[in-house]
Amino acid sequence: MPAQYPLHPHIVLLSNLTQFSPMLYLTGFPGLETIEHWIFIFFFLMYLMAISGNCFILIIIKTNPHLHTPMYYLLSFLAFTDLGLSVSTLPTTVGIFWFKSHGIYFGACQIQMFCIHSFSFMESSVLLVMSFDRFVAICYPLRYMVIITGQRVVRVGLIVILRGPVALLPIVLLLKAFPYCGTQVLSHSFCLHQEVIHLACTDTTFNNLYGLSLVVFTVMLDLVLIALSYGVILHTVARLASKEERLRAFQTCTSHLCAVLVFFVPMMGLSLVHRFGKHAPPAVHLLMANVYLFVPPMLNPIIYSIKTKEIRHVISKLLG
C-alpha cells in the first residue's frame, strides 16, 4: 500500500535506513499538496467541534450535581475517550497540513499509535458498559438503583476501559525489536499499528495474530454483547402494553444507539478496507481512516446534547 504514494524528497535518505528507530514519513492527501492549508481549515473545524464539544459535556456534568448519576458518569467516560482520540491525532495532522512536516520519529509514532488504538478500545468498552446500563434500566427498572450505583459504575468502568490499553502494550513495544528497511512511508497523517507492521522486514506473524485476536476479543466481542443487550431490550419493549410506553422506553436508548452506530460502522469499514481492500484506491483508505477517527468525537457531543433532556435543559439555562 505505501508504494502507491509518490516519494517525497526526504524519502531518498530514509529508504537506506535499516537499523532501529527509522524516521517514518506520514502522508497527507497525494495530489492535493497545493491546497493542504484549506484542507487543514476543514480538519481544524472538526477538531474545534470535537474538543470543545466534549470539554463542554465534561464541564456540564462536573458543575451540575444533579447530573452526578451513573448514566452521566458513563457519558463522562465517553467524552473523555473522544477527547483523547481527537488530541492523539492533532499533532501530526497540524504538522502535515499546516507546517508541511511529514517526518515522525519511530518512538513518537509508537506513542501515537498506542494512544489512538487505546482510546478506540476504551470507547468500545464504554459503549458496552452504557448498553448494560440501558439494559438494566429498561428490563429491570425497579432494581436499577440497586444494581447500577455510581461507585460500581466507576469501578467496573475503569476495569473494562483499561483492558484494551494493557493488552495493546506488548505488540506496540514489540515493534521496537523489528528491523525496518525500504521506503518508510505511511499512507495516513497519523500512525496505525496495521500500517507500521507492514514496513518491517521480518516475520510479523505474532503481531498480526495478536492484533487480530485483540480486536476480536475486545471490539468485536463488545459489539456482539451490545447487539445481544439490544435484542433483549427490543424484546422487553415489544411486550409493553401501550405504544406510548414502548416509544418512551426506546427513546431512552436513542442517544446510545446513535453513538454505537457512529463508532462501530466506520471502524468495521476501516478494518475491512485494510484487510480486504489492499488494491482499493488510496483515497478509500484515507477517507475511511479519517471518518473513523474524526467523526465520532465530533458527533457524540451533538447527539447527547440533542437527545438528552437534562443536558438540553442545562444548555437552555446557560443560553438564557
pLDDT at 286: 77
In one letter, which amino acid is 229? S
Whether the CB-CB separation of 227 and 181 falls below 8 Å is answered with: no
Per-residue burial over 104-139, b = 16 or more CB atoms within 10 Å of its CB, e = otherwise: bebeebbebbbbbbbbbbbbbbbbbbbbbbbbbbbb
312 located within any domain: no
Whether the CB-CB separation of 126 and 164 falls below 8 Å is answered with: no
Question: What pLDDT tens digit does each residue of the chain (320 aa) get?
Answer: 444 444 444 433 344 444 455 788 888 777 667 777 787 888 889 999 999 999 999 999 999 888 888 889 999 999 999 999 999 998 898 888 887 888 899 999 999 999 999 999 999 999 999 999 999 988 888 899 999 988 888 888 788 778 888 999 999 999 988 888 767 888 788 898 888 888 888 888 888 899 888 888 888 999 999 999 999 998 888 887 677 777 877 778 888 999 999 999 888 887 777 666 667 777 677 778 888 888 999 999 999 888 888 888 877 777 76
**CATH number of the domain to which 116 belongs:** 1.20.1070.10
pLDDT at 241: 64
22 located within any domain: no
pLDDT at 109: 93
257 located within any domain: yes
191 located within any domain: yes
pLDDT at 163: 85
Cα–Cα distance measured from residue 185 to residue 207, given in angstroms and rounded to the nearest whole number: 20
320 located within any domain: no
36 located within any domain: no
Model confidence pTM above 0.75 = yes
pLDDT at 184: 83
pLDDT at 12: 36
Domain range for residue 137?
A: 55-304
pLDDT at 141: 87
Whether the CB-CB separation of 184 and 162 falls below 8 Å is answered with: no
Total number of domains constituting the chain: 1
pLDDT at 277: 66
Q: 140 phi and psi, to 5 degrees?
A: -135, 60
17 located within any domain: no
Per-residue burial over 195-229, b = 16 or more CB atoms within 10 Å of its CB, e = otherwise: bbbebbeeebeebeebbeebbeebbbebbeebeeb
310 located within any domain: no
pLDDT at 311: 84
